[in-house]
Amino acid sequence: MRTFLTALIVTCLSAGAAGAQSDTPSLYERQSSSQPPSNKLPELLTDIGLDQRLDAQVPPDLRFRDEAGREVRLGDYFGTKPVILTLVYYECPMLCTQVLNGLTSALGVLSFSIGQEFDVVTVSFDPKETPELASAKKAAYVNRYKREGAGRGWHFLTGDERSIAALTKAVGFRYAYNASIDQYAHVSGIMVLTPEGRLSRYFYGIEYGPRDVRLALIEAADRRIGTPADQLLLYCFHYDPKSARYSFAIMRLVRTLGVATVLAMVGGIIILRRRERR
């Protein structure tokens, strides 16, 4: 009991210190101190966003084409492992590349590997893009990730307007096309799905904390992956949908420590009574 209690305290407090550091806004999350000339957003930007649809089912029967040009169903990637879903377009001049770069960097730190503990599905929301573009993008990021077997677990898809619209609506991804510059206005973020294809967690921005991604994958997999230390961390942290990150759950820790203390006291009393009888 003492060993468990000590391990829980050390794990939670050390993780809490790391979490406090990670709560500092990154360069891309900080707001500019200068005021825009008008407090009204351009009309195009009012149509974009990423609305959380937690526990909603991603339609498994939607049809796309993979990087080899084969017709596939989204459900082909569901069933056994959690899935990280990213919505980008392959010829995006800036933001989509940063999303994939940030995801690759975060996944490169994890002991979990694409194709083993989880899969990644990247879908283009531009219906004009082709499997050839998807293939080139896949080759670049599998090479960047540098882990054996990643090519079997990271899938790059393209599709028609109907399938794209159904998928983006299901996950709450709102975007708009700017015809004058032939580009899309959109937000950045990733989603974690359960093995059955239900939306479990959202992360915004272009930088994703490895700890947050790891905990999200463990929860999406219903704790069937991860180490005992990871299970302890899930008692210390909880997912906050408002901030779309894991934060230190101090009250949960206090309750857990309280229960552990009571159990230790009860165990001590039982031991003392047995000694008195002897």
Mean pLDDT of 170-184: 94
Does residue 264 have a pLDDT over 90? Answer: no
Q: Are 138 and 104 in contact (CB under 8 A)?
A: no
Count CB-CB contacts under 10 A for residue 150: 22
Percentage of the chain beyond pLDDT 70 is 67
* Residue 210, C-beta contacts closer than 8 angstroms, at least 6 positions apart: 106, 107, 109, 110
Tell me how far apart the alpha carbons of residues 215 and 16 are, in angstroms, rounded to a whole number.
14
| Average confidence (pLDDT) over 32-47 | 52
Full-model pTM: 0.73
* Residues 102-115: tens digit of each pLDDT: 999 999 999 999 99
Residues 6+ apart with CB under 8 A from 145: 104, 107, 108, 114, 154
Q: Please, are residues 219 and 54 in contact by the beta-carbon 8 Å criterion?
A: no
Look at residue 195 and tell me whether its pLDDT is greater than 60.
yes
CA gap 261, 5 in Å, rounded:
8
Indicate if the pLDDT at residue 96 is higher than 50. Answer: yes
186: pLDDT strictly greater than 70: yes
Residue (of 251, 253, 247, 254) closest to 19 by Cα position: 247
What distances in angstroms separate CA 165 from CA 83, 160, 170, 260, one per listed residue? 20, 9, 9, 50
- pLDDT attached to residue 237: 63
pLDDT at 162: 98
CB 169 within 8 Å of CB 101 = no
Phi first, then psi, for residue 204 (nearest 5°) are -100, 165
Q: Residue 266 has what pLDDT?
A: 57
Domains of the chain: 42-225 (3.40.30.10)
If phi > 0 it is left, if psi is from -120 to 50 it is alpha, else beta; for residue 189 that is left
User: Which pLDDT score is estimated for 267?
Assistant: 61
Q: What is the distance between the alpha carbons of residues 218 and 232, in angstroms, rounded to a whole number? A: 12
Q: How high does pLDDT run on average in the chain?
A: 80
Of 93, 100, 214, 229, the closest CA to residue 156 belongs to 100
Task: Output the pLDDT for position 160.
Answer: 98
Least confident segment among 16-25, 131-140, 219-228 = 16-25
Is the pLDDT reported for residue 138 higher than 50?
A: yes
- 22 or 236, higher pLDDT: 236
Q: What is the mean pLDDT of residues 83-112?
A: 96
Q: What is the pLDDT of residue 240?
A: 74
pLDDT tens digits, residue range 10-27? 344 344 444 443 433 332
Residue closest to 19 by CA, chosen among 11, 27, 7:
11
